[in-house]
Structure 1
Amino acid sequence: MSLLWIKALHLFFMVAWMAGIFYLPRLFVYHAQSDNQAVKDQFKIMERRLWWFVTPFAFLTLLLGVCLIYVYGAVWFKAAHWLHVKLVLVIALYIYHFYLYHLVKQFSRDVNLHSSRFYRILNEAPVLVLLAIICLAVVKMI
């Protein structure tokens, strides 16, 4: 597979993954605000399905990112300091992704330890991380 195809698929799966990462905490906001058990039960289904739907995209993004590093080579990797910073941010996104799973599991047991405001803030955090990742990948400075 050519380098450009790997890049294109890496970007596609990243965008698909981020769509879910942005939407899942929004579901948590609405779930936390609800007092109706039937509505909460519906949110549980939506949250679980969304997390499992986007998780393969997260793994494919990772796989293709590793392929890109492999294709560019070890010398490039050592010299690409911007990439080292990007990888730290990417690791943070994967930690965030699995933290969302923890929250999905809590909601599935009708355990909610946070306010809807917490979930609103949680919803905005990956936007800033994604902005930094994209800037690093495009500008390649550091």
Structure 2
Amino acid sequence: MDLYVWIKSLHVISVIAWMAGLFYLPRLFVYHVESNAVSGETEALFQTMERRLLRAIMNPAMISSWIFGLWLVMTPGIVDWSAFWPYTKLAAILGMTWFHMWCAGQRKELLAGTSTTTGRRYRMMNEVPTLLLLVIVFSVIARPF
């Protein structure tokens, strides 16, 4: 049981770091596409910020969230698999992972100069992690399903 609380703590820390990145990267994309900086220092600054956020924070946080989360799931007696909430949480986690990969793809398009996504679309997509977060938190804590 002592190990369980440490794994759970590391999972929560990882998720917080991952969510921070998922909230911030699309916002950087908005500023990037609306900056009208096709080249130069501003463009290079956005590319550096986006790359570092994704590679140094978001990717490790996503991986550690999955590792610690799976470790918790494998702990006997923690998850009631006869309930519906673990499956709604899993669906939202898969959605969060998809969103992460979508952001990584968008970064590559911005880097290559082939992105056609508007600032408005990035603003709308920036709401996706919030909706998924609500599903996850309500599934785990309130367990309405």
TM-score tier (shorter): over 0.9
- Counting only pairs closer than 5 Å after superposition, residues 75-94 of structure 1 correspond to structure 2 as 76-94=79-97
Which residue identity does 2:141 align to in structure 1?
Answer: V
Distance in 1 separating the partners of 2:10 and 2:34: 37
Return the structure number with greater helix share: 1
Distance in 2 separating the partners of 1:136 and 1:100: 25
Distance in 1 separating the partners of 2:61 and 2:77: 24
Q: 1:80 Cα deviation (Å)?
A: 3.4
> Given the alignment, which residue of 50, 57, 60 partners 1:56?
60
2:101 — aligned with what?
98
Q: Which runs of 5+ in 1 are unaligned?
A: none
The alignment's C-alpha RMSD in Å is: 1.5
Q: 1:77 Cα deviation (Å)?
A: 4.5
Superposition TM-score, scaled by structure 2 size: 0.91
Q: Which runs of 5+ in 2 are unaligned?
A: none
Distance in 2 separating the partners of 1:16 and 1:95: 17
Show CA shifts across 1:76-129 (max 9, x none): 452232011100110011011011000010011112211100011111111111
Q: Is the 8 A contact 1:69 1:77 kept in 2?
A: no
1:17 — aligned with what?
18
Show CA shifts across 1:34-61 (max 9, x none): 1222212211111111110211110100
2:70 — aligned with what?
66
- State, as a whole percentage, how many aligned pairs show the same letter: 33
Superposition TM-score, scaled by structure 1 size: 0.93
Distance in 2 separating the partners of 1:86 and 1:25: 23
